[in-house]
A and B are shown apart, each in its own frame.
Chain A
Amino acid sequence: MIKVKNLHKTFENLEVLRGIDEHIEKGEVVVVIGPSGSGKSTFLRCLNLLEDVTEGEIYVDDEMINSPKVNVNRIRQKMGMVFQQFNLFPHLTIMENITLAPVLLKKMTKEDAIKRGRELLARVNLAEKEDAYPAQLSGGQKQRVAIARALAMDPEIMLFDEPTSALDPEMVGEVLDVMKDLAKSGMTMVIVTHEMGFAREVATRVLFIDQGIVMEKGTPAEVFGNPQNERTKNFLSKVL
């Protein structure tokens, strides 16, 4: 579903990604771990073209998406993105946050979008909040709305960029529960996170990225249970 070939990303003089090759199959839940500054968030943002790719190729459904000829907006409609800082639209109600894109992009009529919005809010346990504004919600609730908002576009892939890093500890669980539920439903997911317990439980595959390359990958049992690379061992010894 996603193929990444020799992905490089350079900011000014800093080479953040130094050649990443990866295949992500439909239905996989890939968790990306690594120390801060390792390039894992940049990798995720490149998948959604929020960062220009310096070199290399990214294919989604066999279409090279970092070609200048491709309509970026159409590609992004296939990929939902959840941000560390939620990035809800503060001037819109929760329901408007969710229905804005599907209605504006003519995927649905307003009535259908609201109906779908209610289903999604029920799914993230926030049915009673549709008329609230983002400022009235807790961090965990905001992030669940952000997930519902991304799902409203019926994406094929969901990307999560440290979705629980900005949350108070007691709210992490409620967001992870929604993500687990989503993984169970068969959604293809790429998740950058520091939640190792979650990675172990939910991931079909774990990538350890450091210094801009994939240092180690495998099933959670392999990466957490029997890491081969010295850097992986070192990193896991600090976070586990």
Chain B
Amino acid sequence: MAQWAAGFSDTFYKCFIKEDRYKLLLSGISVTIKVSLLAVVIGILIGMVIAMCNLSRHKLLRIVGGIYTDVIRGTPSVTQLMIIYFVIFASVHLDKWIIAAIAFGVNSGAYVSEIIRAGIMSIDKGQMEAGRSLGLNAFQTMSHIVIPQAIKNIFPALCNEFIVLIKETAIVGYVGLMDIQKAGDFIKSATFIAFMPLVGTAVIYYVLIKILTLILKRIEAALRKADAR
């Protein structure tokens, strides 16, 4: 037992302490968080626009929205990331992490649009009619009547999408960003030890997502509470 413990602490030292390797992981965490946060914002914005397209009266907009969702869902996110990074933004000088966040946002937008669309469609159509019958236009009815009610239905699914998105960012190493996953991988190559860096990577993701889940649960509970009247 003592021998095992000594071995463990030795590998732990080699993987995380020696040559300040924990700093790689720390900066990896900050990259993952930065990319995820910006991507989630972009994803929600794109998602709203695409959802509006899909719900529009105009056929052309519905076609555009349909193609967008179809293409994004039909191709791997790694491929999308690489196309956006190496093709679309090839000659644009932006920080790597911003381009990566755009790629994940574009991907997430397709899923978010479906979540928003389902949430809006879950609101009785009488609500839209009541708003319109008072003389509000479609936009005013959406923003004051339909969307405030839809948000409570949308929120849990949106949280889930956020969590999926964070894990999805583990592929940013493909475009040369050092996130948590890449940092763990780098330590593995440098130390020739697989177990400790990879399990460490898993633990870091797990803890990050756990913290996030708890925060989101709180917000959801607050939303429900405001609804329980």
Contact = CB atoms under 8 A, between A and B. Distances in A.
The answer to whether A and B assemble together is yes
A133 B229 contact: yes
Q: Which of B129, B140, B149 has the most CB of A within 10 A?
A: B129
Contacts of B134: 76-77, 80, 100-101, 105, 149-150, 153
A184 to B, nearest CB: 24
Contacts of A76: 132-135
A79 B130 CA distance: 12
Contact of B127 (A77, A87, A135): A87
B133 A50 contact: yes
A77 B144 contact: no
Interface residues of B, number: 19
A69 interface: no
A87 B130 contact: yes
A83 B126 contact: yes
Contacts of B127: 87, 89
Given A87-B126, A91-B149, A73 B229 contact: no
Contacts of B148: 91
Contacts of B145: 89, 100
Contacts of A80: 133-134
B136 interface: yes
A113 to B, nearest CB: 12
A153 B129 CA distance: 16
* Interface magnitude class on chain A: 20 to 34
Interface in B2-22: none
Interface in A195-234: none
A48 B133 contact: yes
B144 A153 contact: no
B136 A85 contact: no
Contact of A74 (B130, B131, B135): B135
A150 B158 CA distance: 35
Contacts of B130: 81, 83, 87-89, 146
Given A73-B135, A105-B136, A50 B144 contact: no
A169 B82 CA distance: 66
A172 B227 CA distance: 29
A64 B43 CA distance: 44
B135 A101 contact: yes
Nearest to A152: B134
B56 interface: no
Interface in A100-155: 100-101, 104-105, 133, 135-136, 146, 149-150, 153
A85 B148 CA distance: 20
Contacts of B140: 104
Contact of A136 (B132, B136, B137, B229): B229
Nearest to B228: A135
A153 B135 contact: yes
Nearest to B151: A91
Nearest to A49: B132
With most chain A CB atoms within 10 A of its CB, the pick from B130, B131, B137, B148 is: B130
A89 B136 CA distance: 14
24 contacts: A74-B135, A76-B133, A80-B133, A81-B130, A81-B133, A85-B126, A87-B127, A87-B129, A89-B127, A89-B131, A89-B145, A90-B149, A91-B148, A91-B149, A91-B227, A100-B134, A100-B144, A101-B134, A105-B135, A133-B229, A136-B229, A150-B133, A153-B134, A153-B135
Interface of B: 124, 126-127, 129-137, 140, 144-145, 148-149, 227, 229
Q: Which 6 A-B pairs have the closest CB atoms?
A: A77-B135, A87-B130, A81-B133, A101-B134, A87-B126, A76-B135
